[in-house]
Amino acid sequence: MTQALPFAKLRNYLADQIEMEGSLSRWSDRHGFPKSTVSEVLSKKRDMPESMANALGFAVQKIAIPMRGQNV
């Protein structure tokens, strides 16, 4: 079974991938994202687009979670 990764933790994974690639410029050029977008995602000025999560090898699946106290 594949374990889900909280979307917020993808920033850390992105940072690790950039480090492995050698630079933000190299990673963004390789995956087709503007450097400014990647930088804004890393600095939490922008939410990570689904396409960037896909480039990291993750499929994004939206789910609904019952609110506390609600019986479903």
Pairwise CA distance, residues 28 & 43, whole Å: 15
Pairwise CA distance, residues 28 & 17, whole Å: 11
| Residue 16: per-residue pLDDT | 95
Give me the residue spans of the domains in the chain. 7-55
pLDDT digit string, tens, across residues 4-63: 777 778 999 999 999 999 999 999 999 999 999 999 999 999 999 999 999 999 988 877
Pairwise CA distance, residues 39 & 34, whole Å: 9
Residue with tokens 């939490």: 44
Distant-in-sequence, close-in-space partners of 31: CB < 8 Å, separation ≥ 6: 52, 55
| Residue 64: per-residue pLDDT | 76
